[in-house]
Amino acid sequence: MVGIAELTDFIVEAKASTYVGDGAKLAACRPGSHDIGHQRGPWRYLDSYFGGTDFAGQEAVWHDGKPCWAMNYFGRIIRPELIDARRAGAVIKAALQTMYREKRHFLGGMEYQHAYGCYIDSSRGATEHFSGRETIFVDGEEAYELDYRGGLIVP
């Protein structure tokens, strides 16, 4: 088994290089999916999702061709009169860039003030097994939500 610290470092690197880093889109692996990925040496990462304003997806990591980690998520705009998908995306990308750069992790414990709203990510657990919630508040009202959960894949 690969070390948790090495896996966590790769997950942060991959997340920073794909959605947050506007990484190159890949060919859809499933009809209608939006796919982005990252590879380095024996590591491979894929984020594959459906939708736009309301969306569902899965991130997965392989090491030497074997799946070792995955995360599922579902997000949506709750209050479209307060925030749209473009603004929510701008808040999320700015917050996650800060989390990856400053904290070198990808799970919770993050509050970030942005011109479009207040981003909060809270979670429990660690890379091995976790669940969490990402929200954006606009003028004190919850306008966006995303729930996620995942962890190690054990054969």
Please state, as a whole number, how many other Cβ atoms lie within 10 Å of the Cβ of residue 26.
16
Per-residue pLDDT, 97:
94
For the residues 88-116, what does the mean pLDDT come to? Answer: 93
Number of domains comprising the chain: 1
Per-residue pLDDT, 1:
61
Query: What is the value of pTM for the model shown?
Result: 0.93
Query: 92 with 118: CB under 8 angstroms?
Result: no
Q: Please indicate whether residue 155 or residue 60 has the higher confidence score (pLDDT).
A: 60
Query: 88 with 144: CB under 8 angstroms?
Result: yes
Q: Closest by alpha carbon to 57, among 43, 45, 65?
A: 45
Give the separation between CA 148 and CA 139, rounded to whole angstroms. Answer: 24
Per-residue pLDDT, 109:
87
4 pLDDT exceeds 90? yes
Q: How does pLDDT run across 103-126, given as a tens digit for each residue?
A: 888 998 899 999 999 999 999 999
Q: Closest by alpha carbon to 104, among 22, 8, 17?
A: 8
Per-residue pLDDT, 29:
93
Full residue range of the structural domain in which residue 147 is found: 4-152
Give the separation between CA 88 and CA 105, rounded to whole angstroms. Answer: 21
- The gap from C-alpha 64 to its chain's centroid, in whole angstroms, comes to 23
Tokens 């894949």 sit at which residue? 153
Q: How does pLDDT run across 60-80, given as a tens digit for each residue?
A: 999 999 999 999 999 999 999
